[in-house]
Structure 1
Amino acid sequence: MTPFGSLFPVKVVRVTLVAVLGCCLPSPPVRGQDTGIQDQASSSQVKLFDGKTLQGFNGDEAWFRVQDGVIIAGSLEKPIPHNYFLCTDKTYSDFELTVEAKLVGQGNNAGVQFRTKRIPNDTEVIGYQADIGFVNQSTPCWGALYDESRRRKFLDESPQKAMKALKRGDWNQLKVIAKGDHIQIFLNGVQTVDYVEQDPKIEREGVIALQVHSGPPLEAHYRNLQLRILED
């Protein structure tokens, strides 16, 4: 039998190994990809919504229901008298959250709260919000970072990027990545927020909540909620 080495000269073996190893090594990230700070940590997935019930959430059942795998907040039959929030029973700190949302009706605002807490004896909550909707019916606040009931202002926003990324009247995906002081928000894969919290008094943990805003008849639809806990 011919020795193995005589069939594969040294130079050929080296080239082959390099080629094989090159195929196995991970490729560097492509510039512009939706790669957030979640790449810096391991993660574990949490099931927030079972697609059938509101188990694991708390809120006014008069304003929240489940239909065909979708959480529907609000009503098309009457005005919304207050802001209403459907909150998770558990609190979360560092995570990647994705959710698809759509607005139906005359109203034009809702949002996804995170690192949030309820205000006692009130329908309101306090905390960060990944905003959904429009300002003055024209300028999108989709994908903006708003501070609900606290500083009461937008902390970061990109209305021009949001306008290009938005699928008006259709489902849109929001992704929120919160890790320590750093918060990123993506709208349909386009980054609209890159914010670093400077105030040490602001809480870094809280519930996740789905909002329907007060005003004209409106339904805010939410589906495909996915949560990954980010760990060091």
Structure 2
Amino acid sequence: LSGWKGDPKLWSVKDGIIYGTTIGNKLKANTFLVWDGEVDDFHLSFEAKCTGNNSGMMYRSQWLNEADHRLRGYQADIHPNPPYVAMLYAEQLDKRGIVARRGQKVEVGTDGKPKVVGKTCEVTPVKTDEWQTYEIICRGNHMIHKLNGEVAVDIIDNHPNKQLKGLIGMQLHAGPAMECWLRNVRLKEL
């Protein structure tokens, strides 16, 4: 896992695929495999699948606890519930939580409140235990998540504490034992 920081008991590489699991290692809090670099404006694409719990790709994140590999920031969710897959979730970020569900175009005001201003796609079931392609595109305060080439969420974030630069990291979620796989990770700075 050269170029990444994470708990070696939880993360490994098998046949060129990044593999994370909490089986046999119950987590007290979410933990992440964090890429060793920071990005601001970028286009990230990757394929992922997970079983047992939800996961997600954090971006423009900051360390919440580096020793435990914990992050706070934006997350593109990998979640079995159709409205939540590819949604924008603000993890440990000013108690914001869900910013935009799949299918929503959202503008966050300077008061920090999200407002749905349009629709991006139909919300249909997704098998997150099978390989899916995710994309995250960020330019300034404009963020887009794509799922299998289709825009899932489109957000303009005018929150006073919006994140414009930070770390990227893949999540292992506390709770039920889980596994996740990550491959074909591509990052292009814009």
TM-score under structure 2 length normalisation: 0.82
Retained in 1: the 8 A contact 2:138–2:144? yes
Q: Say if 2:57 is the partner of 1:112.
A: yes
Shift of 1:88: 1.3
1:178-217 alignment, distance < 5 Å: 178-217=138-177
Shift of 1:111: 0.5
**Larger strand percent:** 2
1:24-43 alignment, distance < 5 Å: none
Provide the aligned length of Structure 1 versus Structure 2.
Answer: 171
Q: Give 2:122's aligned amino acid.
A: K
Instruction: Measure the CA separation in 2 of the matches of 1:172 and 1:97.
Output: 14
Q: Say if 2:21 is the partner of 1:74.
A: yes
Instruction: Measure the CA separation in 1 of the matches of 2:63 and 2:174.
Output: 17
Q: Say if 2:106 is the partner of 1:145.
A: no
Q: Give 1:90's aligned amino acid.
A: G
Shift of 1:100: 0.6
Q: Give 2:142's aligned amino acid.
A: H
Shift of 1:123: 4.2
* C-alpha spacing 1:61/1:102, structure 2 compared with 1 (3 Å): same
Match of 2:76 among 130, 133, 139: 130
TM-score under structure 1 length normalisation: 0.68
Bigger shift: residues 201-210 or 90-99: 201-210
Unaligned runs of 5+ in 2: 104-120
1:95-106 alignment, distance < 5 Å: 95-104=42-51
For residue 122 of structure 2, what is the aligned residue in structure 1?
161
Residue by residue, what CA displacement relative to the aligned partner does 1:138-173 show, whole Å, maximum 9, x if unpaired?
545111000000134111112683425x23431001
Residue by residue, what CA displacement relative to the aligned partner does 1:20-72 show, whole Å, maximum 9, x if unpaired?
xxxxxxxxxxxxxxxxxxxxxxxxxxxxxxxxxx1111111111111011111
Partner of 2:124, secondary structure, is: helix
Unaligned runs of 5+ in 1: 1-53
Residue by residue, what CA displacement relative to the aligned partner does 1:81-101 show, whole Å, maximum 9, x if unpaired?
431101111100000000111
Instruction: Measure the CA separation in 2 of the matches of 1:117 and 1:68.
Output: 30
Q: Give 2:40's aligned amino acid.
A: S
Retained in 2: the 8 A contact 1:80–1:218? no
Q: Say if 2:15 is the partner of 1:65.
A: no
Instruction: Measure the CA separation in 1 of the matches of 2:25 and 2:176.
Output: 7
Moved >3 Å (runs of 4+): 75-81, 120-123, 159-162
Shift of 1:198: 0.5
Q: Give 2:75's aligned amino acid.
A: Q
* C-alpha spacing 1:81/1:161, structure 2 compared with 1 (3 Å): farther
Q: CA RMSD in A?
A: 1.9
Residue by residue, what CA displacement relative to the aligned partner does 1:157-211 show, whole Å, maximum 9, x if unpaired?
12683425x2343100110000001000011112111000112432200011011
**Larger helix percent:** 1
Partner of 2:175, secondary structure, is: coil
Q: Percent identity?
A: 33
Shift of 1:75: 3.3
